[in-house]
Amino acid sequence: MPVESRAVLEKLRENPIKERQVAGKRLREKVPRSAHAQCTPPKDRADPVALLKEADRGRLPELLPIRYSRMRASPFAFFRGAAAVMAADLSGTPATGICVQACGDCHVANFGGFGTPERQLVFDINDFDETLPAPWEWDVKRLGASIILAMREAGFSERYCSRAVLTALGCYRERMREYEEMTALDVWYSHLNAALFVERAKTPAARKRWEKMEAVAAADTSEHEFPKIACIRHGRPRIVDRRSLIYHPRDLAVGKRVRRMFQRYRDTLPEERRTLLDRYELVDVARKVVGVGSVGTRCAVALLIAGPRDPLILQFKEAHESVLAPYAGRSRYANQGERVVTGQRLLQSASDIFLGWTSDGHGHDFYFRQLRDMRMKIDIEKMSRQDWFEYVELCGWVLARAHARTGDPARIAGYLGKSAVFDEAIAKFSAAYADQTERDHAVFVKALRAGRLLQKR
């Protein structure tokens, strides 16, 4: 290609980026970066208990005591289960008007490692129940507040909590500047290999700990999980009941509905994956209680078998309307499971090959995925101070990559700029919102004791 032609192409490619950068920078006139420190609840702020009760409509009543018990444990546990409360609060905070496919529940416990179809272990966001197009700032603020709450619970000082938020936001801002210069395909193909934890470890002990986590994750497959949750009974594989956490519903009609659901789910997969799934026979289904925010929704595990040593364990979870919908607009998808699946595919660098959606014909939407597939579970409660800084830095990086895939990285980067003004504002917001969450948690515990949450409705 002649030098002149190459120069013209470069100019055509660079000018739109520069124009979008300038457009992003101009947004500071409307929404100063320092304004994001704002965290003053309005006088007519909605009662957090009332918001929780509204969000819990449609959940299984018999599981709500487990949900509330888990949320009662600490302010951070409450925060994890109270995404609806923060969504209402975020709707009144400053925003630039730039939208992305938001995670919707972006907190530090919703990141982790998992296996790609190419059998690589990557680090990414791993929860999308609330995903929806929304302001990018909402994810950033929820992440910042979660860092403060989780580190407070672990016993770290306010200084280190604030530094961790600045570390995450600094990485988000710097990586966004890198993504604005990349081609759309390069952004889409980018991913974070979980080996980064080992490479960035500052001490031999930390390196050894991350290496052990990777080794455990590499072995965490359906074949490895099968002996833990199933047994052979009367010559047939069957999921083992474990009190109220994994159990077979007494209603026999549920099994028939699940088989019909399973067929509809199969139809949402590409043909080559349907061919693979058809090698397996569905042999058992049991309900499973998961997480904090999901407790009470209809979640279950399905055991499939293709041979004596060839199990496949799928999880299917009920999908309600996103907690962001009242403030960001309803999903374009009629099926909430399709909303979750599409959002996950947009945000993750690689997604489970069995990811699909369905409904039960009784007004409940679901999405399917593998229960475990090289899952790298990071125990944030046991992380050292240095581990925390390394971890949240990668969380900031992952979030920037996710937002760059579906938003305009040049406008976001232009707005953020090179200084730490925005980072410092989010650190202030995060500390203030963590304080608010601690107050909300106290109100929640009081309401729980008074029977406001578990009373008949």
pLDDT per residue as tens digits for the range 292-318? 666 667 888 889 998 888 889 898 899
Does one domain contain both 206 and 260? no
Beta 111-115 vs 121-125: how paired, if at all?
A: antiparallel
Question: What are 311's strand-pairing partners?
Answer: 305
Reading the block at residue 223, the tokens are: 């074949």
Q: Give me the sheet containing 246-247, strands edge to edge.
A: 246-247, 281-288, 299-307, 310-318, 365-370, 356-359
Domain count for the chain: 2
Task: Kindly list the distances between the CA atom of residue 454 and the CA atoms of 235, 439, 449, in Å, as whole numbers in the listed order.
Answer: 42, 20, 10
Instruction: Note whether 163 and 279 are same-domain residues.
Output: no
Are 20 and 137 within one domain? Answer: yes
Whether 30 and 169 map to the same domain: the answer is yes
SS3 304: strand
Beta strands in 81-220 (DSSP E): 99-102, 111-115, 121-125, 132-135
| Cα angle value 64/66/70 (rounded, 5°) | 115
Q: Does 430 lie in the same domain as 339? A: no
Same domain, 8 and 149: yes
**239 Ramachandran zone, left/alpha/beta (phi>0; psi -120 to 50):** beta
Determine the structural domain holding residue 226 and report its residue range: 222-370
Q: Do 153 and 246 fall within a single domain?
A: no
Q: Are residues 297 and 209 in the same domain?
A: no
The residues pairing with 310 across neighbouring beta strands, listed in sequence order, are 307
Specify the pairing of strand 299-307 against strand 99-102.
Answer: unpaired
Compute the residue count for the chain. Answer: 457
Residues 158 and 272 in one domain: no
Sole residue written with tokens 């962001």? 324
Q: 342 and 281: one domain?
A: yes
Asked whether residue 70 is assigned to any structural domain, the reply reads no
In a domain, 85, yes or no: yes
pTM: 0.89
Contacts of range 223-229, beta carbons closer than 8 Å, 24 or more positions apart: 223/309, 223/310, 223/311, 224/372, 225/313, 225/371, 225/372, 226/303, 226/311, 226/313, 229/301, 229/303, 229/313
Q: What is the pLDDT along the chain (457 residues), one digit of tens a residue?
A: 444 445 544 544 556 888 899 999 999 999 999 999 999 888 889 999 999 988 888 888 878 888 899 999 999 999 999 999 999 999 999 999 999 999 999 999 999 888 777 777 888 898 999 999 999 999 999 999 999 999 999 999 999 999 999 999 999 999 999 999 999 899 999 988 877 777 777 778 777 877 777 777 777 777 777 777 777 887 788 888 887 678 877 765 566 777 888 889 999 999 999 999 999 999 888 888 776 666 667 888 889 998 888 889 898 899 999 999 999 999 999 999 999 999 999 999 888 899 999 998 888 999 999 877 777 777 888 888 888 999 999 999 999 999 999 999 999 999 999 999 999 999 999 999 999 999 999 999 999 998 888 755 4
Return the structure tokens found at 217: 């994750």
3-class secondary structure, 328: helix
Residue with tokens 């302001």: 135
- In this structure, what DSSP letter does residue 46 have? P
Given 346, 370, 394, which residue is the final one in a domain?
370
**275 and 293: one domain?**
yes
Instruction: Specify whether 255 is located in the same domain as 340.
Output: yes
